[in-house]
Structure 1
Amino acid sequence: MTKIEMTEQIIVAKKELGLSWEEISKKVGLGSVFLTSACLGQNSLTKEPAKKLCKVLKLGKDVEKALIEFPYKTWEKSIPTDPVVYRFYEVIGVYGDTIKELIGEKFGDGIMSAIDFSMDIDKEKNPAGDRVVITMNGKFLPYKSW
């Protein structure tokens, strides 16, 4: 089973059971961002969470095996057209250099890890319109000289 086939089965089961990613992640015992990413094929799960997920969604061993397989992470280099994804490109386009500059000032020359990383997505009620709150937390990795 491919990661794409796995994702399709997970999405169908999620819809049929009427569960949210938040509900599924609580039952599996993982963060909703990471679990959703694994279900969409961008990360892998270890055996126990994969087994729990398949039990929650009533899916078979083939999905469990696909969840455990390491993903091949790729993305198109062109700008996406989905408005939500596009806006992240816009944010990085407008604020990317600022983010890099401020990280450099506070930490030195290096990067924020996307491997030793966590992210939370929350909703903040606001009378002017609800707000999307995204918290990214990555380990700082300095560049090495050799």
Structure 2
Amino acid sequence: MPVAEITEKLLAAKKEKGITFEDLEKQVGRDEVWIASVIYRQASADMEEAKKIVSALGLPESMAEPLTVPPMKGGLEPQVPTDPLVYRFYEIMQVYGMPVKDVIHEKFGDGIMSAIDFSIEVDRVEDPKGDRVQITMCGKFLPYKKW
């Protein structure tokens, strides 16, 4: 089953059942963002996790196996994203990417933040001026090695 097709089916079932990613987190026992990345085929689940996802969505167990296949990651086109929400992340990196890089290097040395040994949390923070989106990224620091 092509990636786009399985993602469409999973998202359609999620919408039809009125299930949120937070609901799936409770049923699967994994973080909601990670589950969304499995559905969007940017991460792979083990068979038990995949079966829990498709079961929660009321889909046949046969749809679980494709969710266990390691996906081709980073499916964004090599152009500036046009979706306003996704574009804001691009814009944030354009404005703050180099400053964040310098601060990381000051605190840790020459290296990168892992996107493999990594977690991301999305929270809603109530504010009288309008609720805020709080995103917390936590990745292992990986120093460049010398040889």
TM range (shorter): over 0.9
1:77 corresponds to: 78
Greater relative CO (CA pairs within 8 A, separation 6+): 1
Q: Residue 55 of structure 1: CA displacement?
A: 1.0
Output the TM-score relative to the length of structure 2.
0.96
Counterpart code for 2:94 = G
The code of the aligned residue for 1:78 comes to Q
* Structure 2 equivalent of residue 26 of structure 1: 26
Residue pair 2:42, 2:73 contacting (<8 A) in 1 also: yes
The CA deviation at 1:2 is 1.9
Distance in 2 between the 1:68 and 1:60 partners? 15
Q: Compute the displacement of 1:135 (Å).
A: 0.1
> What does residue 126 of structure 1 align with?
127
1:63 and 2:63 correspond = yes
Q: Secondary structure of the residue that 1:145 maps to in structure 2? A: coil
The one-letter code sitting in structure 1 at the alignment partner of 2:4 is: I
Following TM superposition, by how much is the alpha carbon of 1:61 offset from its aligned partner in structure 2, in angstroms?
A: 3.3
RMSD value, Cα: 0.9
Structure 1 residues 75-115: Cα deviation after superposition (integer angstroms, max 9, x where no partner):
21110110000000110000000110000000000000000
Name 2:95's counterpart in structure 1.
Answer: 94
Quote the residue 2:50 is aligned against.
50
Question: Quick one: which amino acid aligns to residue 128 of structure 1?
Answer: K
Alpha-carbon separation, structure 2, partners of 1:77 and 1:5: 22
- Whichever residue aligns with residue 98 of structure 1, its letter is P
1:3 maps to 3
- Number of equivalent positions: 146
Q: Distance in 1 between matches of 2:27 and 2:61?
A: 18
TM-score, normalization: structure 1? 0.97
**Contact 2:109–2:143 (Cα < 8 Å) also in 1:** yes
Shift of 1:24: 1.2
Structure 2 CA distance, aligned partners of 1:94 and 1:63?
Answer: 41
Q: Percent identity?
A: 50
Q: Contact 1:2/1:66 (CA < 8 Å) preserved in 2?
A: no
User: Cα deviation per residue 1:116-139 (whole Å; 9 max; x = unaligned)?
Assistant: 000000000001111000000000
2:55–2:61: 8 Å Cα contact kept in structure 1?
A: no
Asked if 1 retains the 8 angstrom alpha-carbon contact of 2:41 and 2:67, the reply is: yes
